[in-house]
Structure 1
Amino acid sequence: MAARTPRQIGEDVWKTKVEKVNAELVTLTYGSVVAQLCKDFNSDYVQVNEQLDKMGYNIGIRLIEDFLARAGSGRCKNFRDTAEVISKVGFKIFLNITPSILNWSPDNKQFSLVFDENPLADFVELPDDRRAVDELWYSNILCGVLRGALEMVQMQVEAEFVSDVLRGHDTTEMKVTLIRVLEDEMPVGEE
């Protein structure tokens, strides 16, 4: 029997093992969170980006267990495999999208996820404030989710948006960089 591809795994899990949530509800709820953060931080969009990243990180460290239980995709051999699973399984399971993987660095430690669609940004217009367009990364929570989830499987990464259609760019692109593979560490006092 041939091994299933990440795309097949993502499709199978989406069809059979995922409780569906109304996309508009998710979009509106997330939009309310971003709007409240903008208000709470007096339109300091750099702070809003940081808070969205922190929220995403906390979600990611919890979400990875659910992902591993549902996906059953096995251990990734390298960072390229990890990128395939993120794109074709992770994003499919949780957002029903499959971003493209592009722009690999020569050392295979950096790639981009390019989003043809982004359900978090449906029906969204950035505030009518030039600073918002220049500084706010509306979907920054996704960067934190990736950081948190990958840290739980021993990969320290940096994730950041480099373009967003909400800012007037042609594409929405997130750059993901492997910083280092984390070693299993025993808690102090345990052997």
Structure 2
Amino acid sequence: MSRPPGRKQDSQKISRELFVLTYGALVAQLCKDYEKDEDVNTCLDRMGYAIGIRLIDDFLARSAVKRCRSYSETADMIAQVAFKMYLGVTPSVSCSSAAGNEFSLILDKNPLVDFVEELPAERASLCYCNLLCGVIRGALEMVHLAAEVTFLQDRLKGDAVTEIGITFLRKAEDRKHRRNK
């Protein structure tokens, strides 16, 4: 039996919206459970990391991507394939270091905040979408790329854009050297 055109897209959109609503409820519950924003941020990062280490298998199977040869290719893959596949958005990527190991993912639209207008004043240091940092870090670690992933700018905090910073912790030469051994 064939599906009508667009049905898969509709179910992906519903799944995404359900995830966003559920995510909002999760963050609200964590805010009730923890007094300090730092504790909520840490919890979201840990949850994201656990998701990332499991999600990478699904990503590799569904996307059929080839091994990335550089940090730049990896950052592009995260933005153009992974974000598009799981969140339906494609962040722009910019390299922010001469060494070529620091990148920014800039999101014009962040679906995780579709139903959030602003953070309460008493939660000013809350990193609402910190789950994304953990997901990226966990997935990268599973493909043997240690990285530090943090929010650099956040529209929920009044910034012009939402920006996630990725710093690969080994220099590109270190990867080449290890492969040649």
Structure-1-length-normalised TM-score = 0.81
Distance 2:30 2:75 in 1: 30
Structure 2 unaligned regions, length at least 5: 1-6
CA RMSD of aligned residues (A): 2.2
Distance 1:119 1:17 in 2: 16
Structure 1 residue 37 and structure 2 residue 27: aligned? no
Structure 1 residue 72: Cα displacement: 0.9
Structure 1 residue 112 and structure 2 residue 87: aligned? no
Q: 1:82 to 1:19 in 2, by over 3 A?
A: farther
Q: 8 Å contact 1:165–1:172 — kept in the other structure?
A: yes
Q: 1:117 to 1:110 in 2, by over 3 A?
A: same
The one of 119, 123, 126 equivalent to 1:132 is 123
Distance 2:117 2:40 in 1: 16
Matched position secondary structure for 2:149: strand
Structure 1 residue 165: Cα displacement: 0.5
Q: 8 Å contact 1:38–1:48 — kept in the other structure?
A: yes
Of Structure 1 and Structure 2, the greater helix share is in 2
The AA in structure 2 aligned to 1:161 is: F
Q: 8 Å contact 2:119–2:156 — kept in the other structure?
A: no
Structure-2-length-normalised TM-score = 0.85
Q: 8 Å contact 2:46–2:134 — kept in the other structure?
A: yes
The one of 84, 88, 98 equivalent to 2:80 is 88
Aligned residues: 167
Give the share of equivalent positions with the same residue, in percent: 47
Structure 1 unaligned regions, length at least 5: 1-14, 185-191
Matched position secondary structure for 1:49: helix
